[in-house]
Chains A and B, each alone.
Chain A
Amino acid sequence: MAHRSFKLSRLSIPVLGLFWLAVTTLPFLFVVFTSMKTLQETYTNPVWALPESFSLDNYIRVIEGSYLTYLRNSAFVITISVILIVIVSSMAAYALARLKFRFNTALFGLIVAGMIVPLHVTLVPVYLMTRAMGLYDTLFALIGPYVATSLPVSIFILTEFMRQVPRELEEAALLDGCGPFKIFAKIFFPLSTPGISTVAIYNGIMLWNEFVFAYVLTSSPETRTLPLAVWEFQGQYAADIPTILAVVTLSTLPLIIVYAIGQERIVNGMMAGSLKG
């Protein structure tokens, strides 16, 4: 019996792995292949057929359109948002993890509770506030809500991370002449790099795909981000499926590149509980 179950588990892991690979890759391959077909081909050839010639015409058409504006907007908004998220959440996490002050636990609870607030509930107030501040239809309109909605989960991750930093390191730094701010900057921030990478990459991916705020808070093509590009192109190219899928591929590509580079860090960050001093 033991022998059989051993064989089963040996077999089942690669089989499940392959199955999962198929589930995740096939739609993506479908998108990439179809984006290289001509409109004609999509009607005449079978759905899963390879493109007759791997043509980049659709891509060129998209890039020559306003795609680059969207890309630039997305990059701008997300870079600034992620930098702000990392600075604010790491400082907050250090304070919550290590500084002693009244209502520390209560405050942490409140921040974490922020994770359960549905984003859509805040849409109307955020829209009205943005208008009132005169930021409507600018890129800066997105940064505020992006940072605010990302903070609870980021602070949660980093607080847990910083609680793992051995207390003696803090005390050694104290003896070495550091105050709370220097202890944060010289000890906790560098030691939390895996957690900070996780927060940066995780939020980067979430915000890259963010649609609702971008849709509500911006209106002109000059201020819109990539997720809206798909939306815009859908209107523009109506039923031109290959071109829309080229837009989809182009929007996903930066994410795939970032993930490929940062994958190890994301995984390490997710396993931060096993950190040993």
Chain B
Amino acid sequence: MTSITLNNVEKSFGKVTVLHDIDLMIEDGEFCVFLGPSGCGKSTLLRMIAGIETVTSGDLRIGGERMNDVLPSERRVAMVFQNYALYPHMSVYENMAFGLKQAKTPKDEIAKRVQIAAKTLQIEPLLERRPKELSGGQRQRVAIGRAIVRQPAVFLFDEPLSNLDAALRVHMRTEIANLHRDFPHASMIYVTHDQTEAMALADKIVLLRSGEDVLTKGSIAQSGSPLELYHRPKNRFVAGFLGSPSMNFLPVTLVNANTEGATVRLASGEIIDVPVDARTLSAGAPLTLGVRPEHMVPAPPGTDTQVIRKVVHSIENFGEHSYLYLSDTPDEPCIAKVADDVLETAEGPVAFRVRPSACHLFDANGDALPYLADATSRTFA
């Protein structure tokens, strides 16, 4: 039983509320990623679970037991820090053994556990070295090793890859995924601001928001599986945060709504069908249409329905795909990501077809209108 439950958890520093109304359940053995912009409190949330920060109010439970006032060392958690936090005056072996020694673990048991962890992480030849004699990747492995030997119920990772270079980061990402496979009963919580890492690793993403909305809407913008957040964002913040380049947002007005979906009109006059439930709204209501750049497909000539016409202002070719910049104003970027190399386009507006199921509608509050089809059928539509 290593599930983690947070009930109505709040954190403030003095008068500043950083985290508000956190309700969250992380299942036994789940890989959960806290994702969000900087300053959203994702690291603070992790540190509260670790016991390094106090919980201002609300309940934190690990394995069903209330942990608010339990010492960090007694929470059965192990943490991997962003800058490794290895003790510089101790050898790799001593670093890994330190926690066990404090817990009065017998010496041969310590040696056994350190050896096994070192073997798993391929750091056996480094055991006698000091941290400063190691490369970034090796230090990160030692930090992970220090967590493994404690056989924790919960692994906590605080942006563990952000100090590594790009190539090593991808490699260590795979190793962390392997670690999750090797310890199927330990829950893992991983903090990052990198959505690629989050999408690649997570069973569940908890996307946190920052700014004024925290107090009115709560810190958690949405939590769910990576694809759920990608295909079924609950609000504009989630829709805009996940995906690169960001989702395009276009102002529209509601034409009509029924059980089949909603029909909206763009400022330029095109009509778009979206399979969402807008029956609570009256015709003429201002809405925002969301379409991801990768879902804007150049339409074959003569296509008239479900198209958005835009002038292409500039092009970036990357070989595997190209970005077409379609926005008239720099404040509201609008990009189409197309598969082909695009060397030149017509001078007039170009038509892009958008599948109804790839469209999202947001009301004036920024909340997504409820989708009519379920996520799986939409994914393969």
The answer to whether A166 and B85 have CB atoms under 8 Å apart is: yes
User: Scoring B residues 52 to 80 as 1 if CB is less than 8 Å from chain A, else 0, what string do you get?
Assistant: 10000000000000000001110001110
- The answer to whether A175 and B103 touch across the interface, beta carbons within 8 angstroms, is no
A contact residues around B237 at 8 Å (CB): none
CA distance in complex: A143, B82 (Å):
46
Smallest CB separation, B45 vs chain A (Å): 15
Q: What are the interface flags for A170-190 relative to B under an 8 Å C-beta threshold, 1 for contact and 0 otherwise? A: 011111111000100011001
Cβ A190 vs Cβ B89 within 8 A: yes
The answer on a CB contact under 8 Å between B85 and A171 is yes
Asked whether B102 lies within 8 Å of A168 as measured between CB atoms, the reply is: no
- Given A171-B52, A191-B89, residue A178 in contact with residue B83 (CB < 8 A): no
A178 to B73 alpha-carbon distance, docked (Å): 8
Contact across chains for A177 and B102 when beta carbons are under 8 A apart: yes
- Beyond A182-B102, A277-B88, whether A174 also contacts B72 by CB under 8 A is yes
Q: Give chain A residues whose Cβ lies under 8 Å from the Cβ of B50.
A: 171, 175
Quick check: B52 and A175 within 8 Å, CB to CB?
yes
Residues of A in contact, count (CB < 8 Å): 18
| The residue from A166, A177, A190 contacting B83, defined by CB atoms under 8 A apart | A166
Min CB–CB distance B145 → chain A (angstroms):
13
Q: Is the CB of A176 within 8 A of B85?
A: no
Give min CB distance, A198 to chain B, whole Å. 17
Given contacts A182-B102, A191-B88, A277-B88, contact A175 B83 (CB under 8 A): no
Chain A CB within 8 A of B87 CB: yes
Residues of B within 8 A of A277 (CB): 83, 88
Residues of chain B contacted by A173 (CB below 8 angstroms): 87, 98
Interface mask (A255-277 → B, CB under 8 Å = 1, otherwise 0): 00000000000000000000001
Residue of A nearest to B89 (CB): A190
CA distance A169 to B98 in the complex (A): 12
- Distance in angstroms between the alpha carbons of A176 and B71 in the assembled complex: 10
Q: Return chain B residues, CB-CB under 8 Å to A176.
A: 73, 98-99, 102
Q: Within the assembled complex, what's the spacing in Å between the Cα atoms of A190 and B88?
A: 10
The residue of chain B having its C-beta at the shortest distance from the C-beta of A167 within the complex is: B85
Cα separation A172 to B98 with both chains bound (whole Å): 10
- The answer to whether residues A174 and B102 also contact, given A166-B83, A191-B88, A191-B89 and a CB cut-off of 8 A, is no
| CA–CA, A191 and B50, complex, Å | 24
Please, how many angstroms separate the alpha-carbon atoms of A82 and B89 in the complex?
A: 24
Chain A residues with CB under 8 Å of B325's CB are none
* Chain B residues within 8 Å of A166, by CB: 83, 85
CA distance in complex: A168, B131 (Å): 15
Indicate if B230 sits at the interface (CB-CB under 8 A).
no
Closest to B83 in A: A168
If A175-B77, A175-B78, A176-B99 touch, whether A169 touches B52 (CB-CB below 8 Å) is no
Residue in chain B with minimal CB distance to A174: B72
**B81 interface residue (CB < 8 Å to A):** yes
> What residue of chain A has the Cβ atom nearest to residue B81's Cβ?
A168
Give A12 Cβ to nearest chain B Cβ, in Å: 37
Cα separation A190 to B47 with both chains bound (whole Å): 26
Taken together as a complex, chains A and B put the C-alpha atoms of A177 and B88 apart, in Å, by 18
**Contact A175/B73 with A168-B81, A182-B102 known, Cβ cut-off 8 Å:** yes
State the CA gap A177–B85 with chains docked (Å).
15
Residues in B whose Cβ lies below 8 Å from that of A168? 81-83, 85
What residues on A are CB-neighbors of B85 within 8 Å?
Answer: 166, 168-169, 171-172
Kindly supply a per-residue 1/0 record for chain B positions 201-237, scoring 1 wherever the CB is within 8 Å of any chain A CB and 0 otherwise: 0000000000000000000000000000000000000
Q: Which of B73, B78, B88, B89 contacts A174 (CB 8 A)?
A: B73
Whose C-beta in chain B lies nearest to the C-beta of A168?
B85
Q: Considering the chains assembled together, what is the distance between the CA atoms of A175 and B72 in angstroms?
A: 5
B75 to chain A, nearest CB (A): 9
Within 8 A of A (CB), among B86-110: 86-89, 98-99, 102-103
Question: Once the chains are docked, how many angstroms separate the CA of A190 from the CA of B130?
Answer: 14
Cβ of B77: which chain A residues have Cβ within 8 Å of it? 175
* Interface contact B88-A178, CB-CB below 8 Å: no
Cα–Cα, bound, A186→B98 (Å):
10
Among residues of A, the one whose C-beta sits closest to the C-beta of B84 is A168
Q: Collect the chain A residues with CB atoms within 8 Å of residue B71's CB.
A: 177
Instruction: Specify which chain B residues have a CB less than 8 angstroms from the CB of A190 in the assembled complex.
Output: 89
Given A177-B99, A177-B103, the answer on whether A172 and B73 have CB atoms closer than 8 Å is: no
Q: Are B83 and A172 closer than 8 Å at their CB atoms? A: no
Closest Cβ of chain A to B71, distance in Å, is 8
A175 contacts which chain B residues (CB < 8 A)? 50-52, 72-73, 77-79, 99
- Sorted from nearest, which 5 A-B pairs have the closest CB atoms? A177-B73, A176-B99, A168-B85, A177-B102, A172-B85
User: Would you give 11 A-B contacts (Cβ < 8 Å), ordered by A?
Assistant: A168-B82, A171-B47, A171-B52, A173-B87, A173-B98, A174-B51, A176-B99, A177-B73, A177-B99, A178-B102, A182-B102
